[in-house]
Amino acid sequence: MEPIRVLLVDDHAIFRRGTADALRLLGGLEVVGEAGTAREAVERARTLRPDVVLMDLSLPDESGLEATRRIVREVPEARVVVLTYLDDEASLLAALRAGARGYLLKTVAPEELWAHVRAAAAGAMPISGSITLKLFTSLEERHLLPGEGDAVPLTPRERELVTLVAQGYSNREIARRLFLSVSTVKLHLRNVLRKLNLRNRTELVAHAARTGLWRGT
């Protein structure tokens, strides 16, 4: 099996080197390049065509969000995973809107980072647990999550869908697993969001984590 090709983007060379060394030691990943600015990140993503881009948000020339948007547009096969110290809901949502396919904190252990990179390459959307907790706490405070007595009935198929979304699978991957068309998966997802009064997949994941919905409870 070919190793997963990774591009590291961070303005601190020491952090890049340490992260690259840790990922190489664990095996199965190849750090094919590094970048210290947003411009370098886009250029190297375009040239190297990595499977996963680990993206810092604080870069000296432009925001990592802008670099993410450009990479997603110009190298759509690359999955951008944010790796940052910013642990707030606003940064997470901004990254996801920019096209990031994961959001991890730099406090993550090397073994966890390795596993998250592999999961992202396979189509999952890794998000640090502490960020997810903050997100659904915020949603609850804004009364965007139903209370304990406000259970909304979902069909067995819709519950299957929620479980797979909560595990980070894309619509295309869910379609393959459930033997459905992508358009049917999108229709089910819209129905679930409407029933639960949620706006997007991120809020659905937060709701599923809080209520145990992804376990079918």
How do residues 28-50 score in pLDDT, each as one tens digit?
999 999 999 999 999 999 999 99
Asked if 6 and 35 count as a contact pair (C-beta separation under 8 A), the reply is no
Indicate whether 90 and 10 sit together in one domain: yes
Does residue 139 fall inside a structural domain? no
How do residues 178-188 score in pLDDT, each as one tens digit?
888 989 999 99
Q: In angstroms, rounded to a whole number, what is the distance separating the alpha carbons of residues 99 and 24?
A: 26
Residues of the chain above pLDDT 70, percent: 84
Indicate whether 17 and 42 sit together in one domain: yes
Domain containing residue 202: CATH number: 1.10.10.10
Indicate whether 99 and 175 sit together in one domain: no
The number of helix segments (H) and strand segments (E) in the chain equals: 10, 5
Q: In angstroms, rounded to a whole number, what is the distance separating the alpha carbons of residues 68 and 100?
A: 7
Q: In angstroms, rounded to a whole number, what is the distance separating the alpha carbons of residues 38 and 71?
A: 10
Q: What is the pLDDT of residue 205?
A: 76
Indicate whether 169 and 127 sit together in one domain: no
Q: pTM for the whole thing?
A: 0.67
Indicate whether 162 and 115 sit together in one domain: no
Indicate whether 152 and 127 sit together in one domain: no
Does residue 189 fall inside a structural domain? yes
Indicate whether 160 and 187 sit together in one domain: yes
Indicate whether 99 and 205 sit together in one domain: no
- Please give the torsion angle defined by the CA atoms of residues 187, 191, 194 and 195, in that order, rounded to the nearest 10 degrees: -170
Q: What is the pLDDT of residue 52?
A: 97
Domain containing residue 48: CATH number: 3.40.50.2300
Q: Is the pLDDT reported for residue 169 higher than 80?
A: no
Q: In angstroms, rounded to a whole number, what is the distance separating the alpha carbons of residues 51 and 149?
A: 44
Domain span at 108: 4-132
Indicate whether 95 and 22 sit together in one domain: yes
Indicate whether 123 and 175 sit together in one domain: no
Last residue of a domain, one of 83, 99, 132: 132
Secondary-structure percent of the chain, ordered helix, strand, coil, rounded to 5: 55, 10, 35
Our count of domains for the chain comes to 2
Q: What is the pLDDT of residue 22?
A: 93
**Residue keyed to tokens 């997949």:** 201
Indicate whether 78 and 153 sit together in one domain: no
Indicate whether 124 and 181 sit together in one domain: no
Q: In angstroms, rounded to a whole number, what is the distance separating the alpha carbons of residues 194 and 127?
A: 24
Does residue 51 fall inside a structural domain? yes
Q: Of 101-110, 158-167, 189-198, 206-215, give the lowest mean pLDDT range.
A: 206-215
Burial 57-68 (b: 16+ CB within 10 A, else e): bebeeeebbbbb
